Amino acid sequence: MHAAVKGPEGVLEWTPECRKSFDEIRRKLMEASALGLPNLRKPFQLYGAGKDRWDTVFVPHAVSSLLENKGHHWISPSRLAKYQAVLLEQDDVVISLTSALNPATLLPISESGELHHDCLTTIEQVYSSRPDLRDEPLPNAELELFTDGSSFMLEGRRKAGYAVVTRTQALEAKSLPSNTSAQKAELVALTRALELSQGKRVNIYTDSKYAFGVVHAHGAIWKERGLLSSHGTPIKYGTEIMKLLQAVLQLKEVAIMHCKAHQKGNSEITKGNRKADQLAKEAALQKSNFEGALIPVPHLELSPPQYTEKENQLAEQLDCSKNDQGWWVTPLKQLLISEKMMEILLEKLHQETHSGADALVLIAKRHVIGPRMQSLADIIVKKCAICCANNPKIAKKIMGGIVKQGITPGEYWQRDFMELPRCNLYKYLLVMVDTFSGWPEAFPCGTNKAREVIKILLKEIIPRFGVPEGISSDNGPHFIAEIVQGVSRFLDIKWDLHTPWRQQSSGKVERMNQTLKRQISKVWQETQVKWVDILPIALMRV
């Protein structure tokens, strides 16, 4: 083609060789361009094409094994599920393991030599508490131990203990303090197993997923973070975790395996775990050694008491007897103390427990008794700033009022305004109910102002039923207006204003409002007549 275009202008000799070369160029242009190493400092374009197919992603390591076997050590369950869904379960992503040479390894690097990398080995070295820690049994191990911790409630008190055993004997089984949780007991058991195996090659089995995760993954991360959680707060059992991480480094070679708990069967691992579990429960029932502060407690010598006449009278009422030191003692072995001493004792006891007044008296009465115990406890609790800030405020319940009711017809009325859709000049309905008979009266009004209230009272109610002794309504401006209250005082009508936003205070008229609305709606749906004309029929149906 290049030689053909070198001839005279306007003349192109098209030979079979030119035709063949042209077809070759056209075919090359239709194919993907050859890939080369781009210059990352300059902009470049990368072309790709695909149609009706899903390309496979080839990787040098098993992604599924990496996630399933090691992922739970350092990835949260929600994030692990996300990775599994994206990488393993999507139809448009196919990941295949290959042993072929990865072209990326041919890129030039600054250091010479072959780059060796094993994902599983790297994870174990970075996240494990020691690089050679294994989760599979060591061949020809010197020791094979089983550990278990136990924590449970018995008769309202927590019991805790741990055990370290072999297949044939128990190495150690002890009780733990009553505030020990199950996770803490498992950490203590695993730590003691490591300490008892210093300098040896040992296989250790534990049924605690928590302790297994700490020694294999989480512990090293927490240690690197300064025993802080992802939220920046101190982790639980930080002291026990540090002891565990230090103990695991003292062994020559160690493998820590997880086994299922409470399994039936005759395998050596199952029998060893059952034995450790049984001994841990038995150890928890043993009496725990008291661990108290090593502070000498001075011997207190109480001076002879000086009782008042009132306290001596109380001693006689309680049938007390004096001991050798001159103290009154009740038949229940309670010491009778003075009022001042009782106040000091209750204050000290409240500072330690912040109990309520009743609980404070109940605790004190186990050992002492004295005058004004309940009143002193009430005063101490009310003066405590911490209790005042945290205890619920118990206010005195307000007694509800009594809804008045007449004893004769027309003696006492309840009234209320009800809003309806505008019809000609009317938008409101003034409803009145006689509290004695339940007789309803309803009057359409153009407004809900005070003049409507006075007009209906003077022109409708009083001429037909007489002057009432009392009227009840809410605190609406049309009822508390000066003119309304002035007319009621002039006619000697007692006008009661009940609590706003409480329908029970005027239950009869509120119920009548609902009944009238329902009847008006039913009649309107039957006749399509305006509600002003329907009102007499609705009143008749009530």
Walk me through the domains of the chain, giving residue ranges and CATH numbers: 56-101 (no CATH), 126-284 (3.30.420.10), 310-390 (1.10.340.70), 412-541 (3.30.420.10)
Residue 44 pLDDT? 67
Residue 288 pLDDT? 59
Residue 14 pLDDT? 79
Provide, rounded to the nearest whole percent, the portion of the chain with pLDDT above 90. Answer: 21
Least confident range from 7-21, 96-110, 490-504: namely: 96-110
Residue 52 pLDDT? 65
Residue 294 has pLDDT above 60, yes or no: no
Per-residue pLDDT averaged across 104-122, rounded? 57
Mean pLDDT in the chain? 82
Q: Which of 159-168, 300-309, 353-362, 503-512 has the highest mean pLDDT?
A: 159-168
Residue bearing tokens 């186990």: 366
182, 149 contact by CB (below 8 A): yes
Residue 482 pLDDT? 86
Q: Where does the pLDDT of residue 226 fall: very low under 50, low under 70, confident under 90, or very high at 90 and above?
A: confident
433, 512 contact by CB (below 8 A): yes
Residue 428 has pLDDT above 60, yes or no: yes
The Cα 162–Cα 177 span in angstroms is 11
3-state secondary structure string across 280-323? HHHHHCCCCCCCCCCCCCCCCCCCCCCCCHHHHHHHHHCCCEEC
Q: Where does the pLDDT of residue 124 fall: very low under 50, low under 70, confident under 90, or very high at 90 and above?
A: low
Going 443 to 447 to 449 to 454, the CA torsion angle's sign is: negative
The Cα 214–Cα 220 span in angstroms is 8
User: Strand pairing partners for 473?
Assistant: 497
The Cα 98–Cα 84 span in angstroms is 20
